[in-house]
Structure 1
């Protein structure tokens, strides 16, 4: 499989997942063993993950206004997620790049709104939470239609809902309005993801073979062992397995090797799938020239309190709100894709 083939294969996979995910990632991590200096083009891609916006006290009915739909929903990929809301306790909302507005509301709010929805799958026998889906790109959803008037009346007059929102918009270079100019300056704030770089010294790394599923167990660590080890590294867990440690006796699985230096980058913020795709494509190109690294990883964490996860499936917090995936890219451009969800969530098809 060549680099271009992998990029397009991955693009198709992430794009469909990105379309179905609530809205982007809360943070992205890149780990490259045996890497001391990052290539300039890759460093620039990481630095250019794009701005996002925090809009204070945004009424939900503004997202269903025709002007907003015409300017942003129909002219690109628009993402929005309520900020500092808890999916298991508060009313929450998300706008997907497919143009669907998802509301996850409690029973009282649902009854006051009077909009059609369905009981949350996590409500138990007596539904206490409901999911409302509004397709802003539906041909019947226009200012003169009954559906649009009904939704606008419910959200503006019957039961006004207002939240702080994280917003992002991707429009492939098309000209037109910007989110910064659309909202009042005292209401919107432009933010940039936080990027941290670090070098890990003498890191024990699992020995991986891209054909691990067909290979011999003694030649390669399993995908499950790699996933567990990666979680420990990203959370800076000590891997020394010291008997006197009361925190962790975890150690790197066998077989393993020692990487003199490993590059670790973490990007934290409101990161849209299009930017993740660009980063993944540059990581594919990393192996275009001979490298000591036998593999590298890209880990993407979705928001724990997003009302949807994969392909618009409802997301439940359960214990930790797990909602993530991980790519392992090998030198020969084979790759593994690992996905993790909460206990109750549906696995993606």
Structure 2
């Protein structure tokens, strides 16, 4: 068999959304970046890049100190529509769930969004046997091989026949059992009510009467490193006419190479990395990675800590944050169905400089079938 000329293969196409503007670092009101962060529910990895920073602030390191989540194994989906669960965790606080290590293109997947919507991404056989109302996946319209079912858990009435029908269908053997990653943010303390521990949701599932459900703690993985002797690109929206700056794609690509500790030293080779535009020499760059399951509130806290650091450290050229979603999550941004034909990528990057100028760079797969 002859080896294919892989260098002739075109890269998978993506939809890229870029937004630029200026924000107030002090007030942080009407910040469009926060709206973008809140639209991306399931976050697997957060990376921050601090060029020319002497150290990573302790407050920033502590932001995700209590961000561990849980893995619930052998979960029957009728447990997600139980009255006690909806009243205790869906309607109180914010609940996140996404199926663990399932393939979106070939397997049944599930998610629960923070607004209380149960999303089922099902194979054709499962959907037709289950008997719940849904629609064909927008990425499988020609073959009708995948279907999407959405159930608003907050509007279900346990005394209705509709509720009993849904619960009976979700408990059917055809669906099987799922391994699901979960996270829960308790409601804020009010009046005489005490503080509720986020681990209460783990105890709820661990107390399963059948004994089939197993709950595991999934600690957040943290990694830090730093790079030395760098000439980072300059990010500016108010560029003088006599100077040239790198474009958004080049800046995001540079951030990615920095986060991966790639060799950025210029050499006389064809495959060496280089970019056009103004540069500024910095002593080092601090890089920090978190991997786990992060809520939108946690990502927003990291972003706000970055803005606070940037306001104090005016000498840094810019700060960057990269957030990557789960490739096999049923949804990506908002309630948009996730693309699965090639890579299922759904991520975004944020760059802010001391003047409050920002870049929002959003990347998702499109609905074009691979050739």
TM-score, normalization: structure 2?
A: 0.84
Structure number with the higher helix fraction is 1
Question: What's the offset of the Cα at 1:230?
Answer: 1.7
Which residue of 2 is the match for residue 193 of structure 1?
A: 220
Structure 2 residue 349 is the aligned partner of structure 1 residue 331: no
* Kept in 2: contact 1:242–1:249 (CA 8 A): yes
Aligned in 2, Cα 1:217/1:74: closer, same or farther, shift over 3 Å?
Answer: farther
Question: What's the offset of the Cα at 1:119?
Answer: 0.4
1:1-349 mapped onto 2 (5 Å cutoff): 1-6=23-28, 8-10=30-32, 12-14=34-36, 16-18=38-40, 21=41, 24-48=42-66, 50-138=67-155, 141-157=156-172, 159-174=174-189, 175-176=195-196, 178-184=200-206, 187-211=214-238, 216=241, 218-243=243-268, 248-344=271-367
* Kept in 2: contact 1:25–1:303 (CA 8 A): yes
**SS state of the match for residue 154, structure 2?**
coil
Question: What's the offset of the Cα at 1:158?
Answer: 6.0
Of 152-161 and 110-119, the range deviating more from structure 2: 152-161
Question: What's the offset of the Cα at 1:77?
Answer: 1.0
TM-score, normalization: structure 1?
A: 0.89
CA distance in 1, matches of 2:342, 2:140: 15
CA distance in 1, matches of 2:247, 2:290: 27
Question: What's the offset of the Cα at 1:285?
Answer: 0.5
**SS state of the match for residue 62, structure 2?**
helix
Aligned in 2, Cα 1:11/1:170: closer, same or farther, shift over 3 Å?
Answer: farther
- Structure 2 unaligned runs (5+)? 1-22, 190-194, 208-212
CA distance in 2, matches of 1:225, 1:218: 16
Question: What's the offset of the Cα at 1:64?
Answer: 1.1
How many residues of Structure 1 are paired with residues of Structure 2 in the alignment? 334
Question: What's the offset of the Cα at 1:251?
Answer: 2.2
Of 143-152 and 178-187, the range deviating more from structure 2: 178-187
* Kept in 2: contact 1:114–1:154 (CA 8 A): yes
CA distance in 2, matches of 1:15, 1:252: 29
Aligned-residue CA RMSD (Å): 2.2
Of 151-160 and 296-305, the range deviating more from structure 2: 151-160
